Amino acid sequence: MAQCEFCDKKITFGNTVSHSHRKTNRTWKANIRKVRAIVNGTHKTVYVCSRCLRSGKVTRA
């Protein structure tokens, strides 16, 4: 569910690196918003990242 329906941005995995250079697993979550938008001429609730909202890829209802 934590995935943008327009650009497919989703969770990214990586490491937290401490000062002593020990590595611990961590995740980065995309900034996903639940938005009512117009998709194919109908109103629909979609999960969209904030970058797609800001750039105008999504037309809000």
Q: 37 with 59: CB under 8 angstroms?
A: yes
Q: 30 with 49: CB under 8 angstroms?
A: yes
Q: 45 with 1: CB under 8 angstroms?
A: no
Report yes or no on whether pTM surpasses 0.85.
Answer: no
Q: Residue 2: its pLDDT value, please?
A: 84
Run of H or E including 6: none
Taken in order 47, 51, 52, 54, the sign of the CA dihedral is positive
Q: Residue 26: its pLDDT value, please?
A: 97
Q: Residue 9: its pLDDT value, please?
A: 95
Q: Please determine, for residue 53, whether its predicted confidence score (pLDDT) is greater than 80.
A: yes
pLDDT digits (tens, 9 = 90+) for 17-49: 999 999 999 999 999 999 999 999 999 999 999
Domains of the chain by residue range = 12-55
